[in-house]
């Protein structure tokens, strides 16, 4: 995964182990500020659990290079024959040899029979995985299963005697300020113990839909990826995964996947080798201040339904675009990012209660959770970059909300490649100085609704905006659709 943020002086979020992103295994170590005083039982806990923490080394055979190009020499040059022979021999040798690339990470044993947990990015693309134990034992590991979305991998080794194992704790009970301990293999220094506190919970670093990290100031460096974060009862409450850093070394901002996130996934991987997630068939977006004001919501709480799959369980359960989900199967949806994680973890085949706000009132829907089937990667439709001739506008109706629009007719349907069942107004141009332009509304998109009401003519759009303005609304909530059928709500300020 590439660095998540990189703009000059900004901090970089990087994965904590191998591969391309300044992972936690190469480079000069950064000396972080030491804790002035820790709890008295740190040494006892470390002694008790250290034997279950392992170093993981991987190797990958990289295909031979394409060879080094020979320099261009003038015909008849006295060096032509020399260089021809030199580069021929060199390239023939290079192309016959593959290179072996090695990397290091951490992991921990959760079952004495030989089950080891680590990050997926520690073992991704590896041809061979070796697990190194504190007593010097080295065992070859096989991959049981992985979950790229959460960055989790489960391995199996075959020991001659039972291994030292550790248990998961309840990460939901972890408190900010609580002492924690990280053990791992930073820079290849196996068995390194660092101590800190829980700095925050429920952190979103925008690495996936399911982000819900524990943040800690316990030093985590390259090579710590996949290692455990312990509470002082010796229970694993997280898997160390990422850091926030300017240098690639620890500056006291590390992130761990909570144990309550990974525990059920590990059970699935051990049982079936794959992850099954719940699905209801909706696309969602955040509720910002403008959208909350447009929908007369008391706060920005919840997840806004942007579109509903016409063959999905949400549609069958009566969910509509424009609904705001505030509770799913008894769990509060405080913000948009909560909903994918809650739905994914729901029992497949179960019918659950979903509380939504629709037109200012709470309603409870019954939704049947189905299995998520990962879609094939379909390339996006290539749009015509050439400017299109614009239909003539009625000057009196032009530029409502900074938009020029025309009713969707057969000609415009063909030009902008909208399906036959779509209705609304085609946006033909956007005032570059308008709030609509700031909200990334562009020509070629379809305006289907304004604050829950369908619009089919420029006059209907103008009248609808006037009604909102007289009602004291500061913005109009537009339902915008692209030619691929993807929908989103955009709150545009009413001038």
Radius of gyration of the chain, Cα coordinates, nearest whole angstrom: 28
Sequence-ordered list of residues with C-beta below 8 angstroms from that of 269, at least 6 positions apart, any chain:
144, 145, 146, 147, 152, 154, 275
Catalytic residue among 32, 57, 106, 151: 151
Residue 306 in tokens: 């942007």
In angstroms, the CA 489 to CA 121 distance is 35
Residue 480 in tokens: 């915008």
Q: Is 113 annotated as catalytic?
A: no
Catalytic residue among 103, 121, 199, 250: 121
Return the pLDDT at 386.
Answer: 39
Return the pLDDT at 63.
Answer: 65
In angstroms, the CA 16 to CA 38 distance is 25
Q: Is 225 annotated as catalytic?
A: yes
Straight-line distance from the first to the last Cα atom of the chain, in angstroms, rounded to the nearest whole number: 42
Q: Measured between alpha carbons, how far is residue 261 from residues 200, 266, 469 in Å?
A: 16, 9, 46
What is the greatest pairwise CA distance in the chain? 88
Q: In the predicted model, is pLDDT for residue 64 greater than 80?
A: no
Mean pLDDT score, 433-444:
90
Residue 323 in tokens: 């609904």
Could you report the per-residue pLDDT of 304-340, keeping only the tens digit for each?
Answer: 999 999 889 999 999 999 999 999 999 999 999 899 9
**DSSP category for residue 18:** S
Q: Is 376 annotated as catalytic?
A: no
Residue 380 in tokens: 């996006």
Q: Nearest-CA neighbor of 69 among 53, 56, 49, 83?
A: 83
Could you report the per-residue pLDDT of 266-282, keeping only the tens digit for each?
Answer: 999 999 999 999 999 99
Q: Nearest-CA neighbor of 252 among 105, 38, 33, 42?
A: 33
- Asked if residue 360 lies in contact with residue 292, where contact means CB atoms within 8 angstroms, the answer is no
Residue the block writes with tokens 């952190």: 203
Hey, is 342 helix, strand or coil?
A: helix
Domains along the chain?
A: 1-63+98-274 (2.40.10.120), 278-371 (2.30.42.10), 395-493 (2.30.42.10)
Q: In the predicted model, is pLDDT for residue 303 greater than 70?
A: yes
In angstroms, the CA 40 to CA 461 distance is 69
Hey, is 364 helix, strand or coil?
A: strand
Could you report the per-residue pLDDT of 233-272, keeping only the tens digit for each?
Answer: 999 999 999 888 777 777 889 999 999 999 999 999 999 9
Sign of CA dihedral 194, 197, 202, 207: negative
Residue 270 in tokens: 């051990």
Q: Which residues pair with 454 in a beta bridge?
A: 449
Catalytic residue among 192, 225, 256, 294: 225
Mean predicted lDDT score pLDDT of the chain: 82
């Amino acid at each position: 995964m590439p660095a998540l943020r990189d703009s000059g002086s900004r901090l970089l979020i990087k994965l904590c182990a191998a591969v391309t992103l300044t992972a936690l295994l190469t480079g000069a170590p950064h000396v972080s500020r030491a804790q002035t005083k820790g709890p008295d039982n740190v040494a006892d806990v470390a002694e008790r659990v250290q034997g279950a923490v392992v170093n993981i080394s991987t190797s990958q055979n990289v295909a031979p290079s394409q060879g080094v190009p020979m320099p261009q020499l003038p015909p008849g040059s006295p060096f032509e024959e020399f260089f021809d022979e030199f580069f021929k021999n060199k390239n023939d040798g290079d192309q016959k040899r593959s290179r072996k690339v090695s990397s290091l990470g951490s992991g921990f044993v959760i079952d004495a029979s030989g089950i080891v947990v680590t990050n997926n990015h520690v073992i991704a693309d590896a041809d061979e995985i070796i697990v190194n134990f504190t007593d010097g034992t080295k065992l070859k590991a096989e991959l049981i299963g992985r979950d790229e979305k959460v960055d989790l991998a489960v391995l199996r080794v075959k020991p001659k005697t039972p291994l030292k194992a550790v248990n998961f704790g309840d990460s939901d009970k972890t408190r900010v300020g609580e002492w924690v301990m990280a053990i791992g293999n930073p820079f290849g220094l196996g068995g390194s113990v660092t101590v800190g506190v829980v700095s925050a919970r429920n952190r979103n670093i925008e690495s996936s839909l399911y982000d819900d990290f524990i943040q800690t100031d316990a030093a985590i460096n390259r090579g710590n990826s996949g290692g455990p974060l312990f509470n002082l009862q010796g229970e694993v409450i997280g898997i160390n995964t990422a850091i926030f850093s300017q240098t690639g070394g620890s500056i006291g901002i590390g992130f761990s996947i909570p144990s309550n996130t990974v525990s059920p996934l590990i059970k699935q991987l051990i049982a079936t080798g794959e992850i099954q997630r719940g699905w209801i068939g909706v696309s969602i977006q955040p509720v910002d201040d403008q959208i909350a004001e447009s929908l007369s919501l008391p706060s920005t709480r919840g997840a806004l339904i942007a579109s509903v799959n016409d063959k999905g369980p949400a549609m069958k359960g009566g969910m509509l675009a424009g609904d705001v989900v505030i509770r799913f199967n008894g769990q509060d949806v405080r913000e948009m990012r909560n909903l994918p994680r809650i739905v994914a973890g729901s029992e497949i085949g179960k019918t659950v209660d979903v509380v939504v706000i629709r037109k200012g009132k709470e309603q409870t829907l019954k939704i049947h959770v189905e299995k998520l089937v990962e879609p094939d990667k379909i390339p996006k439709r290539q749009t015509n970059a050439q400017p299109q001739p614009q239909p003539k506008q009625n000057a009196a109706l032009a530029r409502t909300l900074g938009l020029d629009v025309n009713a969707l007719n057969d000609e415009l349907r063909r030009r902008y490649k909208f399906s036959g069942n779509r209705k609304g107004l085609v946006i033909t141009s956007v005032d570059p100085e308008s709030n609509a332009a700031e909200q990334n509304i562009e020509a070629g998109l379809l305006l289907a609704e304004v604050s829950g009401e369908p619009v089919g003519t420029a006059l209907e759009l103008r009248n609808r905006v006037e009604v909102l303005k007289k009602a004291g609304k500061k913005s109009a909530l537009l339902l915008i659709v692209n030619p691929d059928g993807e929908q989103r709500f955009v709150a545009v300020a009413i001038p």
